[in-house]
């Protein structure tokens, strides 16, 4: 075993011991198992297919710390970033730490709060849910997340309850995040026939702080439950962001995830959905934007292991400057998964000759009575469209901006919250006029 | 307003325009007719600034300036407008936003104030009514999924909103039903003023009945082979281009 991995494992073990000594920790056993799993797995490398185009050298060289630091932050700066629309509940994390006084958790039929607190009071349901979908971790970072898990959100919606207004999950990184690795884990559980709308955002209080967000999200939807999950990753320009989302959908449950990754120097989001009950549906939309020095990666892993399930994925990327993107979309339709519908598409708009994309949409079908399609495209700005716009008085930058917004619009308009649509359009507009 | 002298141009070494001379004064409407492939759209594109053409000879002055030396958007901002033969679809770009930003880009370049959203909405609604463009099309993506006629009306709407000094209409009447043709003609006539000029490329007499051009030119083989008054168009309608081309050759 290589020395670096041993060092990391020892650090993780020390962390686990310190939690234990500080007054007991109900996850100790699982943490230790995850630390051992990490030692077996090591860090992902580009020799494994899933990480082939996503190197981690930059991340490893920076060597982020596991320590916690309680750095003061300006409250008003946090509040300024609240979602500008009425919310059903709000959970705020700054530098990985839960901020109870900035959060708002009171609502009938919905139980939201901090994972650390739920674990501390021995909440059985939460204790059982940690790792129930992710396991100990199928790559080193996921295992480290569990071994050194800090805090996160727990969101539970009771059976039959419909939460109309969004539940906001806001992550902010400020000065206290500098040089640190944060390990949040979120648990979302909707009971039967419940429905909710979750807005999850990763923002920076300061545009240039370097930190690593290594997070895992486990989402369980019981029969006929339905979740709209709007996510925006807009970390600081120097941040590393790694996110694993695991979906467990029971019969006729429906998940709709709308993703945007526009920040960070390096970011990877993986969404894993396994259908084990008939009649469930999963819709994933995504938009990524990568410019000079940035890498964005989306990995989708949808496994049809039950009949009559639908999955649809539509991801679009805009690459400019020396931006790099990786898209890997895998749909498996197993033998027993008859009457499956599975559609996957990925389109990329390249604004510069130095930009790069590695796209790999894959369908693996073992059932015969299914409807499936997949496709990927890589294109440039349409010259005729540029001429048309310029002949209407737009300069090159404005024309480019409008065409990119037009390209992104199909995904942007999937976001149900108007403030999110505006925020995204603004970001795209600003970035592309640079 | 526009002065074209000995303009020769081509694509990839292939000559398309072979010495065009044309004087367009403020207040005038010029019709340009001619067989398919004679270079009408090429001329229109070169005036609007489209890339890909090489000008091999001649010059074009617009309001005293060297038009060919100006960027595409600079021409638009100075009042040149091309209604295209094949308007381009812009998926995801809202028609209303496109029009407003276009107008404001032009205004800003002239040091004028931008128009606010409410006043603009009012203006566009009124113009849309005038050119009989279904208001629903304002909310859709620019030209995307529009019928042929709707695309042409949308070009005329843009022209009506942007109020150019020099409007070049490239076969805006092609593919239009009789009512739409009337609307297009009305749109052009409404814009007519002593300060503006228009170049209307068309294959049909019908539009010219409504427009009553001051001059009619026939473009053939990259040259203007005949110029005359509106009666020339009637003669062409009756006899076709054959006789003219023979006469020129003789
Ligand atoms: N980009 C290009 N590359 C090659 N040839 C071109 C290009 N653009 C125009 N041409 C050629 O130049 C000639 C003139 O074309 P143009 O489109 O100007 O004709 P037009 O008079 O507008 O015809 P129509 O009445 O059919 O619209 C044609 O032979 C055409 O094929
Ligand atoms: Mg033509």
Assess contact for A265 and A239: CB atoms under 8 A: yes
Specify whether A339 is located in the same domain as A398. Answer: no
Of A347, A366, A382, the last residue of a domain is A382
What are the C-alpha distances in Å from A138 to residues A2, A39, A41, A185, A282?
19, 12, 8, 15, 22
For chain B, domains (ranges, CATH) are: 2-88+162-249 (3.40.50.300)
Beta bridge partners of B9: B17, B55
Nearest CA in chain A to B101: A394
**What is the rounded CA–CA span in Å between residue A422 and residue A358?**
29
CA neighbor of A411 nearest in space, from A354, A348, A326, A363? A348
Structural domains in chain A (count): 2
**What is the rounded CA–CA span in Å between residue B6 and residue B22?**
9
Assess contact for A386 and A396: CB atoms under 8 A: yes
Give the model's pLDDT for residue B248: 75
**What is the rounded CA–CA span in Å between residue A115 and residue A84?**
25
Specify whether A81 is located in the same domain as A179. Answer: yes
A393–B48 CB contact, under 8 Å: no
Chain B nearest CA to A284, separation (Å): 19
Give the model's pLDDT for residue A284: 98
Give the model's pLDDT for residue A192: 98
Specify whether A40 is located in the same domain as A108. Answer: yes
Specify whether A246 is located in the same domain as A331. Answer: yes
Specify whether A326 is located in the same domain as A395. Answer: no
Chain A nearest CA to B224, separation (Å): 25
Specify whether A235 is located in the same domain as A263. Answer: yes
Of A382, A399, A425, the last residue of a domain is A382
Dihedrals phi, psi of A78, to nearest 5 degrees? -70, -45
What number does the ligand 1 atom closest to the CA of B53 have?
1
pLDDT average per 10 residues of sequence, chain A (434 residues):
86 92 89 96 91 91 83 93 95 96 87 95 96 96 96 97 96 94 97 98 93 97 98 97 98 98 97 97 98 97 97 98 97 97 97 96 95 96 96 95 96 97 94 78
Specify whether A372 is located in the same domain as A423. Answer: no
Specify whether A302 is located in the same domain as A395. Answer: no
Range of the domain at A58: 3-382
What are the C-alpha distances in Å from B18 to residues A433, B12, B43, B233?
40, 15, 11, 23
> Does B49 contact chain A (CB < 8 Å)?
yes
Specify whether A63 is located in the same domain as A189. Answer: yes
In tens, the pLDDT along B104-154 reads 999 999 999 999 989 999 999 999 998 889 999 999 999 999 999 899 999
Specify whether A278 is located in the same domain as A192. Answer: yes
Specify whether A155 is located in the same domain as A76. Answer: yes
Question: Where does the pLDDT of residue B234 fall: very low under 50, low under 70, confident under 90, or very high at 90 and above?
Answer: confident
Give the model's pLDDT for residue A307: 97
Give the model's pLDDT for residue A434: 65
Interface test with A, best of B75, B90, B165 (most A CBs within 10 A): B90
Specify whether A352 is located in the same domain as A212. Answer: yes
Give the model's pLDDT for residue B205: 86
Read off the tokens for A1.
């075993």
Instruction: Name the H helices within A168-248.
Output: none
**How many Å lie between the centroid of ligand 2 and the Cα of residue B96?**
27
Question: Where does the pLDDT of residue B239 fall: very low under 50, low under 70, confident under 90, or very high at 90 and above?
Answer: confident
Q: How many CB atoms lie within 10 A of CB B238?
A: 8
Q: How many CB atoms lie within 10 A of CB A40?
A: 12
Q: Which uninterrupted H or E stretch holds A424? A: helix A418-433
**How many Å lie between the centroid of ligand 1 and the Cα of residue A308?**
53
Give the model's pLDDT for residue A23: 79
Closest ligand, as measured to the CA of B219: 1
Chain A residues within an 8 Å CB radius of B51: 383, 387
> Does B115 contact chain A (CB < 8 Å)?
no
Beta bridge partners of A273: A247, A302
B88–A385 CB contact, under 8 Å: yes
pLDDT at B180 over 90: no
In tens, the pLDDT along B30-43 reads 999 999 999 999 99
- As a whole-number percent, the residues of chain B with pLDDT over 90 amount to 75
**What is the rounded CA–CA span in Å between residue B204 and residue A45?**
68
Rg (CA), chain A: 21
Assess contact for A363 and A393: CB atoms under 8 A: no
Pocket of ligand 1 (CB under 6 A): B 11, 16, 34, 36-42, 52, 85
């Amino acid at each position: 075993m290589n020395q670096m991995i041993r060092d990391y494992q020892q650090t993780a073990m020390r962390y686990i011991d310190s939690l234990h000594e500080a007054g007991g920790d109900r996850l100790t056993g699982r943490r230790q198992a995850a630390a051992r799993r990490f030692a077996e797995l090591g860090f992902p490398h580009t020799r494994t297919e899933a990480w082939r185009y996503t190197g981690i050298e930059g991340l490893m060289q920076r060597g982020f710390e596991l320590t916690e630091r309680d750095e003061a932050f300006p409250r008003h700066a946090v509040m300024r970033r609240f979602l500008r629309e009425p919310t059903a509940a709000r959970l705020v994390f700054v530098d990985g730490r839960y901020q109870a006084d900035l959060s708002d958790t009171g609502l009938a039929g919905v139980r939201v709060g901090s994972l650390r607190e739920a674990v501390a009071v021995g909440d059985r349901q939460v204790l059982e849910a940690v790792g129930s979908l992710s396991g100990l971790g199928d790559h080193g970072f996921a295992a480290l997340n569990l071994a050194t898990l800090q805090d996160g959100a727990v969101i539970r919606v009771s059976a039959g309850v419909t939460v109309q207004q969004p539940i906001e999950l806001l992550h902010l990184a400020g000065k206290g995040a500098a040089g640190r690795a944060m390990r949040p884990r979120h648990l979302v559980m909707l009971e039967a026939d419940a429905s909710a709308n979750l807005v999850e955002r990763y923002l920076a209080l300061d545009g240039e702080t370097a930190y690593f967000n290594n997070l895992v999200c486990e989402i369980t939807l019981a029969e006929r439950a339905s979740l709209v999950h709007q996510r925006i990753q807009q970390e600081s320009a120097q941040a590393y962001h790694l996110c694993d989302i695991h979906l467990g959908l029971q019969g006729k449950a429906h998940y709709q995830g709308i993703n945007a990754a526009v920040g960070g120097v390096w970011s990877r989001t993986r969404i894993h959905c396994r259908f084990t009950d008939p009649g469930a549906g999963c819709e994933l939309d995504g938009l990524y934007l990568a410019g000079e020095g940035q890498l964005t990666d989306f990995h989708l892993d949808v496994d049809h292991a039950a009949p009559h399930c639908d999955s649809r994925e539509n991801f679009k990327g805009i690459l400019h400057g020396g931006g790099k993107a990786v898209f890997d979309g895998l749909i498996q339709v197993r033998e027993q998964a008859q009457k499956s519908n599975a559609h996957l598409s990925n389109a990329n708009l390249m604004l510069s000759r130095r930009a790069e994309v590695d796209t790999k949409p894959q369908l693996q079908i073992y059932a015969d009575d299914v409807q499936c399609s997949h496709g990927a495209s890589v294109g440039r700005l349409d010259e005729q469209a540029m001429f048309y716009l310029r002949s209407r008085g737009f300069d090159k930058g404005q024309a480019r901006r409008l065409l990119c917004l037009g390209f992104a619009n199909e995904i942007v308009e999937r976001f149900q919250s108007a403030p999110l649509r505006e925020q995204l359009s603004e970001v795209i507009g600003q970035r592309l006029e640079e | 307003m526009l002065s074209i002298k000995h303009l020769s141009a081509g694509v990839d070494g292939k000559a398309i325009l072979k010495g065009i001379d044309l004087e367009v004064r403020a207040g005038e409407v010029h019709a340009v007719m001619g067989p398919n492939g004679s270079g009408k759209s090429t001329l229109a594109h070169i005036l609007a600034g489209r890339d890909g053409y090489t000008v091999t000879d001649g010059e074009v002055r617009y309001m005293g300036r060297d038009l060919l030396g100006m960027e595409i958007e600079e021409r638009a901002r100075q009042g040149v407008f091309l209604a295209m033969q094949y308007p381009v679809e812009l998926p995801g770009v809202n028609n209303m936003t496109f029009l407003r930003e276009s107008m404001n880009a032009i205004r800003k370049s002239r040091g004028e104030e931008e128009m606010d959203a409410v006043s603009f909405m009012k203006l566009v609604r009124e113009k849309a009514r005038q050119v009989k463009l279904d208001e629903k099309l304002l909310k859709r993506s620019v030209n995307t999924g529009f019928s042929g006629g709707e695309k042409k009306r949308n070009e005329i709407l843009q022209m009506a909103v942007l109020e150019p000094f020099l409007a070049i209409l490239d076969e805006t009447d092609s593919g239009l039903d009789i009512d739409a043709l009337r609307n297009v003609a009305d749109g052009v006539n409404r814009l007519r003023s002593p300060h503006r000029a228009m170049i209307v490329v068309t294959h049909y007499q019908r539009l010219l009945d409504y427009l009553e051009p001051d001059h009619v030119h026939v473009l053939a083989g990259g040259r203007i082979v005949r110029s005359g008054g509106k009666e020339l168009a009637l003669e062409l309608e009756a006899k076709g281009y054959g006789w003219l081309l023979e006469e020129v050759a003789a």
